Amino acid sequence: DLIETFRAQLRDDPDVASAVAAIRALLGFLKQDRGGPGSSLLAAINTLSRVDSSVAVSSGGELFLRFISLTSLEYSDYSKCKEIMIERGEIFLTKVSLSRNKIAKLCHPFIRDGARILTHAYSRVVLRVLEAAVESKKRFSVYVTESQPDQAGQVLINLQKMAKALRKLNIPVTVILDAAVGYIMEKVDLVLVGAEGVVESGGIINKIGTNQIAVCAKAQNKPFYVVAESFKFVRLYPLNQQDVPDKFKYKADTLKTGQNLTEEHPWIDYTSPSLITLLFTDLGVLTPSAVSDELIKLYL
């Protein structure tokens, strides 16, 4: 069962990104599928998007499909076509699995010795970058926001997860209120955040509260760095918060209930490219204006 495979991936490997778990599940589905691969894979991606409505699952699934589906034009024999698609799928999965280490290698030189860093929510890519900085013998401290609107229990779990992981690396950590971002900004040297999705304009979609951190950083001339894998590049061009589709703003469970969304807190917000200094991706270090070129290459 596709959904159970996806959930098992997330359960068995806490460090796996939801998009990578989705790609693994889709590859398993492709190996077992006996119908026409293109249409059934598209249906499978839609099924996963209804279980996990994050931007990364949507963009990762679409890029996976694009990467392997050109095969159907090259081979008329279905079994040969499927064999090549699985082979390409394995290549794609290997490629995305190496993304974090590539990003860490590019980004950690931007963290100088003695730096004070502000980060938001729990990001595995940010964690890997900071780990790489520790490995290169740099000393620095990190402020982590509490990152609402999770339920209290989940907040504690998330904080323990991020703070515990950083403390394991012997990095001094201070957990701060979301409302204290403006107050703490004058003390920090740089802001480092992950992203749920990178949009065509070079802006990002990320955990709610990211936009206000970027605004504060811009006002105080602090660099705002984003670390994100290329499978999070998504074909969206929002100009403001209202342009971001509801399917990304709210959890899949919330959307299923059909309740009034005006009474719900969104889980993500949009940060415009004008507030971002640099994006560190497995494709290289990009300015926001360079993102559209890379995104076009990915989706062609």
For residue 48, which of 70, 78, 84, 24 has the smallest C-alpha distance?
24
* Mean pLDDT comparison of 2-11, 21-30, 177-186, highest-scoring range: 177-186
State yes or no: pLDDT of 197 exceeds 50.
Answer: yes
State yes or no: pLDDT of 151 exceeds 50.
Answer: no
- CA triplet 158, 159, 163: central angle to 5 degrees? 125
Asked if residues 298 and 230 have their Cβ atoms less than 8 Å apart, the reply is yes
CATH architecture type of domain 100-299: 3-Layer(aba) Sandwich (3.40)
* Cα dihedral across residues 22, 28, 33, 36: positive or negative: positive
CA pair distance 183, 174, nearest whole angstrom? 14
Which pLDDT value is given to residue 152? 33
State yes or no: pLDDT of 115 exceeds 80.
Answer: yes
Cβ contacts of 188 within 8 Å, gap of 6 or more? 116, 117, 118, 143, 222
Alpha helices of the chain — where are they, by DSSP H?
2-12, 18-32, 37-51, 55-69, 71-74, 78-97, 99-107, 124-135, 152-168, 181-184, 210-219, 246-249, 252-257, 291-299
State yes or no: pLDDT of 225 exceeds 50.
Answer: yes
Domain coordinates in residue numbering, the chain = 2-97, 100-299
State yes or no: pLDDT of 283 exceeds 70.
Answer: yes
Share of the chain above pLDDT 90, in %: 45
For residue 143, which of 176, 110, 179, 107 has the smallest C-alpha distance?
176
Higher pLDDT, 180 or 32: 180
Residue-wise pLDDT tens digits, 40-77: 777 887 888 777 767 888 888 888 888 877 655 666 66
Which pLDDT value is given to residue 210? 95
Asked if residues 156 and 15 have their Cβ atoms less than 8 Å apart, the reply is no
Which pLDDT value is given to residue 135? 95
Cα→Cα distances 186→25, 114, 117, 138, 292, Å: 44, 15, 11, 22, 32
Q: Please state the pTM of the whole predicted model.
A: 0.87
Asked if residues 234 and 241 have their Cβ atoms less than 8 Å apart, the reply is no
State yes or no: pLDDT of 119 exceeds 90.
Answer: yes
Which pLDDT value is given to residue 165? 84
Q: Do the domains 2-97 and 100-299 sit in the same CATH topology, yes or no? A: no
The whole-chain average pLDDT of the chain stands at 85
CA pair distance 218, 206, nearest whole angstrom? 17
State yes or no: pLDDT of 36 exceeds 60.
Answer: no
Class in CATH terms, 2-97:
mainly alpha
Which pLDDT value is given to residue 239? 92
Cα→Cα distances 229→155, 195, 219, Å: 25, 9, 27
For residue 9, which of 69, 105, 93, 86 has the smallest C-alpha distance?
93
State yes or no: pLDDT of 277 exceeds 80.
Answer: yes
| DSSP category for residue 233 | B
Share of the chain above pLDDT 70, in %: 87
Which pLDDT value is given to residue 297? 84
Asked if residues 251 and 52 have their Cβ atoms less than 8 Å apart, the reply is no
Mean pLDDT of the region 129-137: 95
Which pLDDT value is given to residue 267? 87
